[in-house]
Structure 1
Amino acid sequence: MAPKTPVLPHVATVPPTLVLTWESGYEILNLDDIEEALNSTPPGATVDTTEYRTSGPHDVVYEPLLEKSPDGFTLTYRSKGHWIDGQAKLHEADGLTGKAVYSKKGNDDKEANWICTWFGNDKPKIGIDIPCKYSTNTRDKKEVKISVRDARFRNLIFDKNPKCIITGEKSENLLQAAHIHQVHNEGSDTIDNGFVMRSDIHRLFDEHILTLSREGKFKMDPVPDSYQYLFEENGQWIDEPKISNIERYQDNIDLRNDLRQKVKV
């Protein structure tokens, strides 16, 4: 990320943002997200920012450390960011590391003159002042942010055991990281909240045709015709799925099953 005169393309309207343009692309900071984080989280929280690349094929998501400053806030970039490829694999990007100090000159957000002073880790004592553009006409970062989040979770779960916990499938292009307690129900992207599943098994799990008890017992009910091969004639698993260290997962299994029971009622 090297500074350049900001040029903002025409894109969809979203909440108030700051736009900082680099040689590689333009970075979007959602001011509502930053204000909420400053007011509701302890010091040392991270936020997501997105750099939309104009000089390369991959948009990049960063997770800088957010801190309040007298005239605004600072973002400390400790990593080079991440991007994902077409197979949803996570890769380290080539962004710079350092600190961006954002200062607001003026009281009215719409009329405020925001200044970013960048201190790169390669030259930590040299600050570069970069005018920031305040805008409500910037591209929504949600799609890129969610894709990177999903890829991070996939890497985390696949690193643990890269085969389907139900079928033993090992072909990576057929596998997904499945949440126990789903994200849309405020489930976490943590190692104790997921298994590797073949994509069709994942769908059955999300639809609660495939269920899981806190003791680690999977049950499929009803059993679709195309999955009869997994069971004996008496309905027992031919090769019963086994979960090692079930205690690790039990809190999320309980959350999943409690919510399922409430939906039934």
Structure 2
Amino acid sequence: MRLHYELKGPETDAGRAPLVLLHGLGSSTRDWRLQVEHFSQKRRVLALDLRGHGRSEAPPGPYAIPLFAGDTADMVRRLLPGATAGGGVHVAGLSMGGMVALQLALDAPGVLKSLTVVNAGVDYRPDTRRQRRLLWQRRAAMRALSVRQVGWLLGRRLFPGRPALQQKMTDRWAQNDPVAYRASFEAIMNWSARARLPEITAPTLVAAADGDYLPLSVYRTCAGRIPRAELAVLENARHAAPVAQPEAFNAVLEDFLDGF
């Protein structure tokens, strides 16, 4: 299976471990463009299109979060062998990519130097009436709408008052393979790391937007259950903070990475 990736930045590490970026559901490496540009000035940066996304192949499902994590581990070992043999890489994932990063920390801890989880739940168990309503709406949209229509709706929720970003999201979502998109959605619905969070040994940054779908209490609990985790709250931000507030997000991530 062919997986698309972008690998940029200096090949000599200068003491800085590479950074691996994992996108969310329906997204691709393109949503990390501003992070790749910023962080590749000082370190090697690898951004991946997960299977069924972007310019990667979309083999038949079913898909699963551990499957995405296995793909990621294989690519990191192949493309960054020196880093994985010499202390690991920094892995940052947004939304579904954060779930993949959590699973990677559990399944292949030797690959990681650190873990950053951005606006990613530890499962999709709805704990409140609002969360149950949002989950029902998401499932209903998956059944009734085209991927372009889903992108149109999400764009307006994620980027209110920013028509250029709304249109960009609509156009990019329309490029998704609908079968692979739904298979990836089901992978999210069928996954949980809640019970295994205390097993994660990597230093971890839990980055949460104060305007995300999930309440901050979810992220506080997540950070509290991972032994070496810290929480950073992105103010006046929503789910796609790396896209909508790249400077603020980059500053938070850079501050964390500079500690290594």
TM-score range, shorter chain: under 0.3
Give the TM-score of the pair, scaled to structure 1: 0.20
Richer in helix (by share): 2
Looking at CA atoms only, which structure, 1 or 2, has the larger radius of gyration?
A: 1
Determine which structure has greater relative contact order: mean sequence separation of CA pairs < 8 Å that are 6+ residues apart, divided by chain length: 2
Richer in strand (by share): 1
